[in-house]
Chain A
Amino acid sequence: MDFIDLNSGFQVFLNRKMRERARFFASFHTRQQKARQVYLNSLAICAANFYLQCMQFKTSWETSDSYDVMTQALFNVSDLDLPGIGKLECRPVQPGEQNVRLPIECEERVGYLFIEIDDSYQHATLLGFVKEVPIEVEFDLNKLNNLENLLLYLGEIERKNQKPILSERINLKQWLENQIDSQWLSVSLWEEKLNTNPELCLRSNKLNEIIVDTSTSRIRRGKIVDLGIKMMERKLGMLVTIEKNIENEQEIDVLVQIHSEIGYFLPKSLKLSIIDEAEDICLQAIARDADNIIQRNFTCEPGEAFKVELAFGDAKIAENFSI
């Protein structure tokens, strides 16, 4: 059910601010040919910038080669920096142009987006992109991929480069000696923080059932984890229980649990991973429909370290532990 040809370009109106910005950059260059080049490059970048911002990519023209007047003077650069992804070359082309030739200075970009600027400088049309382009030889513009592919391509790189936010390593040995960082709360305090809806708390005994603690050699601490906007402001609680192994006192049994706020389920496909020092995933638990807790337990030897990673879609957080 296509109402339009999705391979047709996406048109961006070049508003006054864009045109003035381009003119401003061009005004630094006295040679007419250079000034025109900078003007067109800047317009192309403005159009790409608007489109990518709409698509919720972070852009940073200020850190691009093309933002620097000296670099503009020396090279024909038209890049737009996408933090966490790389520099995307945003190449202006003239209406009807079939072949383009890219200069050597735009080698090693993350991709090449081609933008047609109309003769009145009122509209820019994002035509399409390629991941790689032969430098300094004629390139046929009919070979471009459409913009949806650009979104998928940039999104893939964005995810690949996204590093989980690392927190300081927590030494569980110290927990056994009762030296516990204040951000790791006692169970009752943790429970209070997790469940802000007291009415629901009274009705549900589920959480209490899970965390009733009879053993004294067992240490149990919790913290509230924040996966950012993607969780729709629902809270998650991480609860870590440790205990000396019954057979070998040197080893420690660890139980990691992720609880939902009472009255809510965990978001479906929320993923808990236990990762070792070699960055290999050792254990994993994934929330299904209507789960309100996921957990994994394992045994650690002294000197070992592991990472607990919680992921939902592209959002990730990690807690690092050592024994």
Chain B
Amino acid sequence: MELDNYLKQLALQAKQYPPYSDERRQALSRLSHIIEKLKLLKPKKGYNRELYEEAKQALWLYIYEHIEKYNPDKGTIIAWLSYLLHKRYYPEVKAIEAKEIEIVKEIAKWLGISITPSHYQILLVELKELIALDPDGIFRLKHVKNHPQANFQTLTQLYYFEGYSWEEISQKLGIKATTLNSFYWRCFQHFKLKLQQYLTD
């Protein structure tokens, strides 16, 4: 097929040039432009639309960086992209969503906020932004004694948002996991009222 051939050429062109080069960017931009415009990737039955679009975005971010991995002998570029999308990215995005809901439920429970499923995502984004922005500069100042890097802001991001375990964080920061854990939950109690205020405003 003429279209398949053209897409293959674009992928090969992108492969041939180093990252950050004009030629690579141009070929990849054209490739995704055509695939998206002609809707050459399709969702499967029962897919959640939001999650499907997110999975596709994750796929594109991956492809641009790893176009080298495309092997034209194994099939068309569309076949490769479809495989990655359905076998890897959609399930991955779905799993992340499930985990995020768990986190939100847990935090909402801690804070005593009642929440409906349609608000999970909203609360999660609000929390992430709130912790990152730290509008009153209080989260980053509350830290384990003599370890300014082990502060409430960083710990929340590592533990909740990036999914590290206390053991992993312990190794990363060189502080005992039990110390981190008990410090963190004391902090959480300390900020409970403040967090409730921020989030219900």
Binding site for B on A (CB under 8 A): 1, 3-4, 6, 8, 10-11, 13, 15-17, 20-21, 23-24, 50, 53-56, 147-148, 151-152, 155, 158, 229-230, 312-315
Encoded as 1 (CB less than 8 Å from any A CB) or 0, chain B from 30 to 51 comes to 1011101110000000000010
User: Which residues of B (120-147) have their CB < 8 Å from a CB of A?
Assistant: 121-122, 124-126, 129
B3 at the interface (CB under 8 A from A): yes
B20 touches A158 (CB 8 A): yes
Contacting residues, chain B, for A24 (C-beta < 8 A): 125-126, 129
Contact count band on B: 20 to 34
Chain B residues with Cβ under 8 A from A56's Cβ?
Answer: 19-20, 25, 64-65
- In the complex, A3→B20 CA distance in Å? 25
Contact B64 A54 (CB under 8 A): yes
**Are A151 and B33 in contact, CB atoms less than 8 angstroms apart?**
no
Min CB–CB distance A24 → chain B (angstroms): 5
Q: Is the CB of B37 within 8 A of A4?
A: yes
In the bound complex, what is the Cα–Cα distance between A17 and B60 (angstroms)? 17
Q: Nearest CB to that of B135 among chain A residues?
A: A69
Closest B residue to A8 by CB, please name it. B37
Could you tell me the distance in whole angstroms from the C-beta of B108 to the nearest C-beta in chain A? 16
Q: Which residue of A lies closest to B3 (CB)?
A: A3
One of A8, A17, A313 near B125 (C-beta < 8 A): A17
Whole-angstrom distance between the Cβ of B57 and the nearest chain A Cβ: 6
Residue numbers in A under 8 Å from B122 (CB-CB):
20, 23
A90, B169: Cα distance in complex, Å: 37
Given A148-B29, A155-B25, A1–B2 Cβ distance below 8 Å? yes
Which B residues touch A3, using CB under 8 A? 3, 6, 34, 38
Residues of B within 8 A of A11 (CB): 36-37
Q: Does B18 contact A (CB under 8 A)?
A: yes
Give the Cβ gap from B2 to chain A, nearest Cβ, in Å.
7
**Within the complex, which residue of B19, B20, B33 is in contact with A6, where a contact is CB–CB below 8 Å?**
B33
- Of all chain A residues, the one with the shortest Cβ separation from B62 is A54
B28 touching A148, Cβ below 8 Å: no
Contacts beyond the supplied A3-B34, A56-B25, A152-B25: 8 A-B pairs with Cβ under 8 Å = A10-B32, A16-B50, A21-B129, A56-B20, A152-B22, A155-B22, A313-B20, A314-B20
